[in-house]
């Protein structure tokens, strides 16, 4: 879906973006969990954790592609690095990056709460810790 948006110059709403993430990244995470549950007697509902992880991971990945490595922004368009840098500056100026950082903090917290609700998982929390290099 995001390729369609990119190729047709469509800016999705935040709700559309989150729906796309739930179907794309969340779908892959769901597949992994359900495959593991096929061979396990543990049938806990992980849907909230999967949704939270999918949203956190994808938003973080998109943010890092823009913010942490300017040359990744708009990979195909435009070609000029100066235009790309200008776009990054505009995103910063208008608060988009700050908004995204706050959202990432919220998804990180929600995910950790859900991990604890499910009984805790030190390794998964270490993975979340390692993903916090965006701040």
Q: What confidence tens digit (pLDDT) does each residue in 44-56 have?
A: 999 999 999 999 9
Cα 96 to Cα 115: distance, rounded to the nearest angstrom = 28
User: What's the Cα-to-Cα distance from 43 to each of 50, 74, 76, 126, rounded to whole Å?
Assistant: 14, 41, 43, 24
CA distance 84 to 23: 29
pTM: 0.82
Mean pLDDT of the chain: 87
Kindly report, residue by residue over 13-33, the tens digit of the pLDDT. Answer: 999 999 999 988 888 899 999
Q: Is residue 97 packed enough to be buried (19+ CB in 10 Å), middle (13-18) or exposed (0-12)?
A: middle
Residue 68 has pLDDT above 50, yes or no: yes
Percent of the chain with pLDDT over 90: 59
Average pLDDT score over residue span 47-76: 79
């Amino acid at each position: 879906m995001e390729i369609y948006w990119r190729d047709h110059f469509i800016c999705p709403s935040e709700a559309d973006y989150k729906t796309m993430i739930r179907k794309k990244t969340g779908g892959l995470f769901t597949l992994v969990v359900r495959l593991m549950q096929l061979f396990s007697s543990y049938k806990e509902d992980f849907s909230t954790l999967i949704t939270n992880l999918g949203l956190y991971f994808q938003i973080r990945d998109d943010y890092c592609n823009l913010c942490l490595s300017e040359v990744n922004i708009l990979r195909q368009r435009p070609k000029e690095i100066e235009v790309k840098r200008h776009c990054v500056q505009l995103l910063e100026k208008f608060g988009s990056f700050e908004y995204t950082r706050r959202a990432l903090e919220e998804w990180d917290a929600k995910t950790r709460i859900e991990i604890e609700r499910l009984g805790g998982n030190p390794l998964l929390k270490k993975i979340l810790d390692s993903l916090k290099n965006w701040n």
